[in-house]
Amino acid sequence: MSNYMMMEIFQNVFISIAFVGNFIFLLLNLILMFISLSGIKKINKTHNKFIEDYMSKLDKADFKVRKIIDNTLDKSKYIIDDLSFRSEDIQKQVNKNMAKLVDKASLEFEQFILKLNKDADKQTKDMVMNMINNAQKELFNFIKQLKTETVSTKQEFANKLQNEFDKVVSDVYEYREKQLSLVEKSINRIIIKVVESVLSEGISVSEHERLITESLEKAKREEVFK
Amino acid sequence: MKNLTNIPLSLFPNIITNKDVSIFIREIDDFIIKIFESRDSLEEKINDSFSENKSKIILKILKDFEIDINNISRLNDFFGFLKNSILQWPTLSIELSEELPRKVIRRISDWFIVNNDKRVILDIKINRKMLGGVSLYVDGKYYDYSLRKKINEMIYRGNLNLSNLLSNN
């Protein structure tokens, strides 16, 4: 058998194997597709059932909640009504008790005032007597004190008068000094003006020169130009 | 040519007050302008610009420093230097009670040469309230030797006497 024939046989066998392989692969894909489709259908079914159950539970819960709210409202209304009734009752009771207490207190107060009036008569008499006695004592003390103070006031008055006199003398002296100082200043001002007018007209050039030279010599003695 | 040194005040005996200094500086400024103006000789220009006395002194100084009088540049430098020297001359500020004749001012100036061994430019101000005497400003301090001060002191002591006032200290 030649090599060529051998190669042709080998080629045919290879093609056959490839064909069978492809067929098997296709078949497997079909099976997988079928399995997937049936799985999806099953999931959908499960999901729908879950939604239905959930909705049903929600409806039930909603119903229960409404019922609870209604019950609560009914109970609240009953409690409020009951409370209103009771408060009215309590109010009436309190008013009744208050009236009783006021009546009792009024009676006691009336009795107390009557007793107080009786005591007051006696106390007033005592108080007036005390006041008269005290006034007499104070008047006596005042007269006594007045007699002693008159003597000391004379001395005090004399002292004050002396102080005032001293102060006036001091003020007069101060005023005199002040006035004298003012007069002195005025006199000095007049003197300066007179001297100014006399000197400004009366000093000759040579007199000026002499004054300047003397001033410079004085400055030299005082070491101004050192 | 010698190196220039400060030109002393003693070389200009007629410059005694700050007014004299101002006039001298103005004369120098005018001369510096004239140097470049006409073709006249520089010696003539000096004689024209300054008084006879100052011209003589300036020409003598130029000669002493061996400065060529026809050298415009050197002459210009010299007068610039002279101006700087003038600004450094010692000055004394004084106050007088009134304007006095120049001969009296000169004697006051001379008093400083005799008694203080030093010439100074007198910067004079007039203060009529002083009545007489002099006030001095030395090293920023004020010294009052006026007649008014003397009068005030006499009045304060209570022994004002006009004959005492004008008598010797």
Which residue in the set B101, B107, B134 is minimally distant from A215, CB to CB? B134
Inter-chain touch B151–A219, beta carbons under 8 Å: no
Chain B residues whose CB is inside 8 A of the A212 CB are 96, 108, 132-134
Instruction: Give the per-residue pLDDT at A6.
Output: 80
Residues of B in contact with A203 (CB under 8 A): 131-132, 166
Residues of A in contact with B152 (CB under 8 A): 192
Confidence band, pLDDT 50/70/90 cuts, at residue A8: confident
Reported as a single tens digit per residue, the pLDDT across A149-189 is: 776 777 787 888 888 888 888 888 899 888 888 887 787 77
Residue B149 distance to chain A (closest CA, Å): 11
Read off the DSSP letter of residue A2.
Answer: -
Half-sphere exposure of B55 (CA within 13 A, CB side): 12
Residues whose CB falls within 8 Å of the CB of residue B144, separated by 6 or more in sequence, listed in order: B135
Whether A225 contacts chain B with CB within 8 A: yes
pLDDT digits (tens, 9 = 90+) for A56-106: 887 887 888 788 778 878 887 887 777 677 767 767 876 787 677 767 766
Q: Is A168 helix (H, G, I), strand (E, B) or coil?
A: helix
- Say if the Cβ atoms of A219 and B104 lie within 8 Å: no
Span B116-129, average pLDDT: 91
Residue B135 pLDDT: 96
Tell if the CB–CB gap between B111 and A199 is shorter than 8 Å.
no
Whether A205 has its CB under 8 Å from any CB of chain B: the answer is: yes
> Position of tokens 């001298």?
B24
Reported ipTM: 0.84
The DSSP-derived string for chain B is -PPP-PPPGGG-TT--BHHHHHHHHHHHHHHHHHHTT-SS-HHHHHHHHS-HHHHHHHHHHHHHTT--TT-HHHHHHHHHHHHHHHHTS-EEEEEESS---HHHHHHHHHHHHHHHS---EEEEEE-GGG-SEEEEEETTEEEEEEHHHHHHHHHHHT---HHHHTS--
* pLDDT, mean of residues B154-161: 74
Give the CA dihedral A205, A210, B137, B141, nearest 10 degrees: -140
The whole-angstrom separation of Cα A203 and Cα A225 is: 27
Closest residue to A218, CB basis, from B111, B145, B148: B145
B168 band by pLDDT with thresholds 50, 70 and 90: low
Nearest chain A alpha carbon to B111: A213
Residue of chain A with shortest Cα separation from B98: A208
Among B19, B11, B52, B46, CA closest to B32? B46
A215 and B145 in contact by Cβ < 8 A? Answer: yes
Shortest CA distance to B54 belongs to which of B71, B31, B33?
A: B31
d(CA A10, CA A142): 165
Per mean pLDDT, which range of A98-112, A156-170, B84-98, B118-132 is the poorest?
A98-112
